[in-house]
Amino acid sequence: MNAEFINQSISILAIESSCDETSASVCVDGKILSNFIANQTIHEQYGGVVPELASRAHMQNIVPVVHQALSTANCQLSTINAIAFTQAPGLIGSLLVGAQFAKSMALSLNIPLIGVHHMQAHVLANLIKESAPSFPFLCLTVSGGHTQIVLARSPLDLEVIGETIDDAAGEAFDKTAKLLGLPYPGGPLIDQYARTGNPQAFRFAEPQIPELNFSFSGLKTSVLYFLQRQSPDFIQHHLHDLCASVQYTIVNILIKKLKKAVQQTGIRQVCIAGGVSANSGLRNALKETGQKHGWQTFIPAFEYCTDNAAMIAITAYHKYLHQEFIDLDASPTARAIY
C-alpha cells in the first residue's frame, strides 16, 4: 500500500440484494454513515420468498434505496471511491439486479468494483460496533440459508470449521413456524411468542451430529409427528409453549456446538451473526454462556443481523484496503473465496 493511498479517505457505496431485502449503505473510512433497507412484504402471502417477485421488487426499490442511502449519509456520488455489491450466494435474479446496478455505477463513475461474499459480510457485521472483537474470533453465523461456525483470523481470512448438513437454523425456525400456522418469515414470530411460553413444556429431538456440524431437518419432523398426535385445537391453546420449546431446542443445539468450538480452538472471543442472531433466546443464551465460561461475547445491533448493506460496506472497506477489486465481467454467482 502506498502512502498516498493510506492518506486518502475511503468512501464506499454498497448494495445488498441477495434475497428479499433491497439495501444500500455508505461507509466512510470504515464507519457506517447510512444503512437503508427496503423489506419486501409481498412474500408473506406465499409462505416463502418467490424468486421472480423478489427480483421485480428489487428493480423497483433499488434506485430509491440507493438515493436514500446517499442522502442520509449526506454524500455526493462524486466523493465515492468504490461500489460494492453482494456477489454470492443468493437468488440469481435478485443478485443480478444488485450486480448490474453496481457495475453500471462503477462504469459510469470510473471507480473500482468490489464483489462481496454475503456470508463473510454477516460475520464482519460484528466489526461495525466500536467495541468490536479483535482477531482471531469465532462466529456462529445463523441465517435463513446457512448455519456455520467460522474461525476469523483477519477480516479477509475466514475459515468455516462447522456447518449444517441439511436445513439452516433460520429454515428450522421458519418451517416449524409454518407447521404452527404462522406466516413467513416465522422466526421473528416464534421469538415473540416464546417470550411468554415455557421452554421446558415440550421436548423435541436434538440430533447427534459429529464434529462442529449441525442438522435441523430432524427437528422439523419431530415437531410434525408431535403435532399429528394432538387434538385439532392443541396449537391454539399451546402456541406460546410450543414456540418457547422449539426455540429452546434450536438455541441449545447451536450453543452446544459453540462450546465445542471454543474447546477445540481455545478462542474465547465469540460472536453471532445472520438473521437468527436477532433471536432473543439466542442472544440471551450467548451472553449467559459467555459469562459462565469466561468468553467475551459480541452481538451485532439488530439492524445488522438480518440482511443489510452496511455489512457489505464494512467488508468492502477491508477489501479496498487490500485492493481486492473485481472486473466488470465478474459473474454474480461466482463463489467468492472466504
> Could you write out the DSSP letters of every residue in 90-120?
S-HHHHHHHHHHHHHHHHHHT--EEEEEHHH
Considering beta carbons, is residue 241 or 307 the nearer one to ligand KG4?
Answer: 307
Shortest reach from residue 38's CB to Zn ion, in Å:
15
Residues 29-68 that bind Zn ion (CB under 5 A): none
Query: Quick check: 33 and 70 in contact, CB under 8 A?
Result: no
Q: With CA atoms as reference, report the closest residue to 312 among 82, 64, 54, 38.
A: 82
Number of residues near Zn ion (by CB under 5 A):
2
Residue for cell digits 464507519?
A: 31
Q: With CA atoms as reference, report the closest residue to 136 among 122, 149, 146.
A: 149
Let me know the angle formed at the C-alpha of 89 by 84 and 90, rounded to the nearest 5 degrees.
95
Partner that binds at residue 300, options Zn ion, ligand KG4, none, CB closer than 5 to 8 Å by kind = none
Partner that binds at residue 185, options Zn ion, ligand KG4, none, CB closer than 5 to 8 Å by kind = ligand KG4
Binding site for ligand KG4 (CB under 6 A): 19, 143-145, 170, 173-174, 185, 187-188, 191, 274-276, 278-279, 306-307
> In the bound complex, which residue of the shown chain has the CB atom lying closest to ligand KG4?
275
Q: Which of 216, 307, 309, 326 binds Zn ion (CB under 5 A)?
A: 307
Query: Quick check: 19 and 91 in contact, CB under 8 A?
Result: yes
Considering beta carbons, is residue 28 or 125 the nearer one to ligand KG4?
Answer: 125
Shortest reach from residue 49's CB to Zn ion, in Å:
12
Considering beta carbons, is residue 167 or 307 the nearer one to Zn ion?
Answer: 307
Integer Cα distance of 270 and 255 in angstroms: 11
Query: Quick check: 258 and 289 in contact, CB under 8 A?
Result: yes
Shortest reach from residue 284's CB to Zn ion, in Å:
22
Residue 167 touches Zn ion, criterion: CB under 5 A:
no
Residue 174 touches Zn ion, criterion: CB under 5 A:
no
Helices (H) and strands (E) in the chain, counts: 10, 10
> In the bound complex, which residue of the shown chain has the CB atom lying closest to Zn ion?
143
Considering beta carbons, is residue 256 or 322 the nearer one to ligand KG4?
Answer: 256
Q: With CA atoms as reference, report the closest residue to 317 among 152, 136, 121, 24.
A: 121
Residue 279 touches Zn ion, criterion: CB under 5 A:
no
Q: Which residues bind Zn ion (CB under 5 A)?
A: 143, 307
